[in-house]
Amino acid sequence: MREGGRRLLIIPPNLGYGAAGAGSAVPANATLLFAVDLVQIVNVSVPAIPSVSAVGTDLEVEDLLVGDGEAVEPGDTVSVHYLGSLVDGTVFDTSWSRGRPFTTQIGVGMVIQGWDQGIIGMREGGRRLLKVPSDLAYGETGAGSSIGPDTPLVFVVDLLRIQG
């Protein structure tokens, strides 16, 4: 199937809900019909852990791939895949390992300041490297057992979609 394509899926009961059905919405032993439109194919390849020797005192933003979609504005809700690591390359979190994107609002304090500032202007379909000084990350308190106090962070972020 290609972008813009439509496919009708016919799911027999033994591959659907079977004899159990799904409450009042799907009766027992129902054949399911789905019309599927492929709107967009998005590259979600897992990035390599970036090699970073140091993080400065200011946020550093580098577009590894400039997307061709809309640009993020403050207040937008975005869906992203990301990899977060320490400067030594130790990965502390990645959405790819969970198998689903992370969705959040940008520029309103829902995420660390490094993301609030570093995602603004990023275009859909892009991949961006963020080198976040500790004061724009978790500062003096750190976060959990993986991120100590005053620890700078490195992120690779793929912007999948801006939801507005």
CA distance 70 to 57: 29
- Say if 42 falls within a structural domain: no
pLDDT tens digits, one per residue of 53-74: 889 999 999 999 999 999 999 9
Residue 46 in any domain: the answer is no
Q: Is 138 an annotated catalytic residue?
A: yes
- Both 17 and 82 in a single domain? no
pLDDT band at residue 150 under the 50/70/90 scheme:
very high
How high is the pLDDT of residue 53? 84
Q: Tens digit of pLDDT for each residue in 84-143?
A: 999 999 999 999 888 889 999 999 999 999 999 999 999 999 999 999 999 999 999 999
Spatial contact of 132 and 154, defined as CB atoms under 8 Å apart: yes
> Above pLDDT 90, what percent of the chain?
76
Domain that holds residue 129: 60-162
C-beta of residue 125 within 8 angstroms of C-beta of residue 41: no
Give the C-alpha separation, 98 to 124, whole Å: 21
Residue 77's DSSP bridge partners are: 105
Which among 138, 147, 158, 162 is annotated as catalytic? 138
Per-residue confidence band for 45, with pLDDT thresholds at 50, 70 and 90: low
Do 10 and 66 reside in the same domain of the chain? no
Catalytic residue among 17, 76, 82, 119: 82
Residues 80 and 151 in one domain: yes
Give the number of domains in the chain. Answer: 2
162 classed as catalytic: no
Confirm if 125 and 67 have CB atoms less than 8 A apart.
yes
- pLDDT mean across residues, the chain: 92
92 has catalytic annotation: yes
Averaged pLDDT, 9-34: 91
Indicate which residue of 17, 76, 106, 112 is catalytic: 112
The answer to whether position 86 is within a domain reads yes
**93, 102, 135, 150: the active-site residue:** 93
